[in-house]
Structure 1
Amino acid sequence: MSRAASAAEATTGDPALAGPSAGEPRTRTAYTYARYVAGKLAGAAVSLFAVLVTSFFLFRLIPGDPVKFMTGGRQVSAEQLATYRREFGLDLPLWEQFTDYCGKALTGDLGTSYQFRAPVVDKITEALPNTLLLTGTAFVLYTVLGVFLGTRSAWRHGRLGDRLNTGLALTLYSLPSFWLGLLLIIVFSVGMGPIPGLFPTGGMESGGEEGFAYVVDVAHHLVLPVVTLVAVEYGQTLLVTRSALLDEMGGDYLTTARAKGLRDDLVRRRHAVPNAMLPTVTLIFVNLGRTVAGVILVETVFSWPGLGGLFYQALSVPDLPLVQGLFFVFAAAVIVMNTLADLIYPLLDPRVGR
């Protein structure tokens, strides 16, 4: 047997002398990703606790006495006011109220609403589907519209269509959503000049409708608030997608793809767009978190019975448990969606998290 064969046999037969196995790089990658995930989850947990603390102390700076609101402006005795304060725990020291709030929040109990005399979780659960219907519909529309127009503008940058798309997106994105909503109500609900009032001024339904007629009625009420959200929000997605794709368009791999004879449309769809989607993915997840939070101003302008309108109503009291619970839900939705985006990032680009 030759010296080389003997050495090979010895190396193969002795695990201590064998080189790194094929599974080691995969194991190392899994360990790196697990450590990355643990770090992101720990950061999210710290952020959620910070939100819990902030929501408790922040809204106690709001002027107003919730106990006087609960009396409905009636003249009541000091004993009755003391009874109300004792019923809702407002007579306890601040530190004791805080520890009680944190302890209950960890079990899913966000307290009892002052004005509705119902659990905060129940009020949030009741209004959540309405918010998801409104902002979820708008989210799908402005995401698809922004990504489509952003890729088209980037691929034809500098042309008339690109300039028009970018200019319109910047203009609409800079408009206050409540102002645009009021303008749409004046023009398309009240009516202006030759334009008749085509849509309801607010609310979610007219009442008295059932079955398919109810669906049509809700869709009719949905048009103007959805148009407001889409008009204001799609520009951000368009601009981010356009900017990311422009950065990718000078890549050598696109030149190679064209040199192989691929059509320009295939080069864009199969190569350029997937590599440019990382910033857009982050933005989509952030917007998805905001979808759960709702849009307070738009829901208030259109009297939409969602989380945003409920937050405005609770803030005017102030209904401290309801305001705190809604604020925590809003912030938690954004934190969770940001964390999910961070966890998906390494799967899309292995360089992230290394």
Structure 2
Amino acid sequence: MTDASSSPTALADPEGPAAAGPAGRGPRARDTVAYLRYGAGKLLGAAVSLFAVLVTSFFLFRIIPGDPVRTITHGRAVSAEQLQSLRRQFGIDKPLWEQFTQYCGQALQGDFGNSYQLYDPVGELIWDRLPATLLLTGTAFVLYSLIGVWLGTRSAWRNGGLGDRFHTGLSLTLYSVPSFWLGLMLINVFAVGVGFVPGLFPTGLMESGDGSTGLAHALDVAHHMVLPVLTLVAVGYAQTLLVMRSSLLDEMGSDYLTTARAKGLRDALVRRRHAVPNALLPTATLLFVNLGNVVAGQILVETVFSWPGLGGLFYEALSIPDLPLLQGLFFVFAAGVILMNTLADLIYPLLDPRVGR
């Protein structure tokens, strides 16, 4: 009879069959417990971060110079009593600590108050503008993620080649260009027209407003999206390509790739099945951060192209300042990034079992 201590299971588990439990489920159970503890810590950290954002959003915008009441009533004959009545209506006549406690209590219930300028609930204003932002930034995110990962992989695998030098140089240039400046240049060239290049695309807004429906309306919206999406894709593709290229270059000298080649695997198979999955972790971090920014949109790009999304709404609120609207938008923007980062942290152990142990 074979000695149990010499079996493969006993050699694989230093604590022996007794520690492994029935059917050898001990190590897997310990991994599950470790992952649950890891996940609970990340979720707790996300909750603390969200509360910190809630507190920060209250004080951050109160250091902005300006009086919302005087800005809203600018150019009108308003008495001191009417100004005081508006301050009382907005709740900014109360002591700061009372405003803070009231804000936190309402915000924890999902109520960020009413906009000073538009008089509508902040939640409704955000919900109305959210689809336009998701359409614009979501489309750009999908495009630059696919292009950046694909070209970054090819550039690294053919390091030093003509294509690698071209894409790396172009990415470094685009990554250093401010997005609003690039948007203005695209408007000047492709919307206004320069020399022999005619104006091909609209300069702003989301649609022409000609009452078209169905496919004609979809094509009209797509026509308005071309320049803002191109601006976002140019910057996002550059960032994604550089991170993916750097990560894959770090993996290319690893021993496991040499072993895979020595076993006779084709170069394309080595790259696709072995090198790229291990190089994706840093890129996955970037993609999840960018996915969180999909909700926030791009304030400057939306402002330049007069896109009716959350970014443009934030810019409008900042000019007053419309405190409830600024606080609600800031919380939504930050919450999107925090939640996506937390999701990335929870997925990491599934991609790399060493994480969270």
Measured against the shorter chain, the TM-score band is over 0.9
In the alignment, which of 314, 317, 321 is matched to residue 320 of structure 2? 317
Q: CA RMSD, aligned part only?
A: 1.5
Cα distance in 2 for residues equivalent to 1:33 and 1:186: 53
Cα distance in 2 for residues equivalent to 1:327 and 1:214: 32
Cα distance in 2 for residues equivalent to 1:349 and 1:188: 45
| CA shift digits 1:52-94 (9 cap, x unpaired) | 1111001011111111233243121222112111111111110
Moved over 3 A (4+): none
SS in 2 for 1:73: coil
Q: Which amino acid aligns with 1:24?
A: G
Aligned to 1:263: 266
Among all aligned residue pairs of Structure 1 and Structure 2, give the percentage whose two residues are the same amino acid. Answer: 74
Cα distance in 1 for residues equivalent to 2:38 and 2:17: 30
Equivalent pairs counted in the alignment come to: 341
1:184-333 correspondence runs (5 A) = 184-208=186-210, 209-333=212-336
SS in 2 for 1:317: coil
Moved more, 285-294 or 20-29: 20-29
Cα distance in 2 for residues equivalent to 1:78 and 1:72: 13
Q: Which amino acid aligns with 2:72?
A: M
Gap regions ≥5 residues in structure 1:
6-16
| CA shift digits 1:263-322 (9 cap, x unpaired) | 111111111111111111111100001111100000000000000000000000110000
Q: Which amino acid aligns with 1:352?
A: V
SS in 1 for 2:18: coil
1:19 aligns with 2:14: no
Q: Which amino acid aligns with 1:317?
A: I
Q: Which amino acid aligns with 1:65?
A: D
Shift of residue 121 of structure 1?
A: 0.4
Q: Which amino acid aligns with 2:160?
A: G
Aligned to 1:133: 135
SS in 2 for 1:233: helix
Q: Which amino acid aligns with 1:28?
A: R
1:350 aligns with 2:353: yes
Cα distance in 1 for residues equivalent to 2:32 and 2:74: 60
Q: Which amino acid aligns with 2:18?
A: G
Q: Which amino acid aligns with 1:130?
A: A
SS in 2 for 1:280: helix
| CA shift digits 1:182-227 (9 cap, x unpaired) | 0000000010000000000111111122221111110000000000
Aligned to 1:41: 43
Cα distance in 2 for residues equivalent to 1:346 and 1:261: 30
Moved more, 289-298 or 17-26: 17-26
Q: TM-score, normalised by structure 2?
A: 0.93
Moved more, 297-306 or 73-82: 73-82
Aligned to 1:12: none
Aligned to 2:180: 178
Aligned to 1:9: none
Aligned to 1:14: none
Gap regions ≥5 residues in structure 2:
5-15
Q: TM-score, normalised by structure 1?
A: 0.94
Cα distance in 2 for residues equivalent to 1:58 and 1:19: 58
Cα distance in 2 for residues equivalent to 1:332 and 1:73: 38
Aligned to 2:12: none
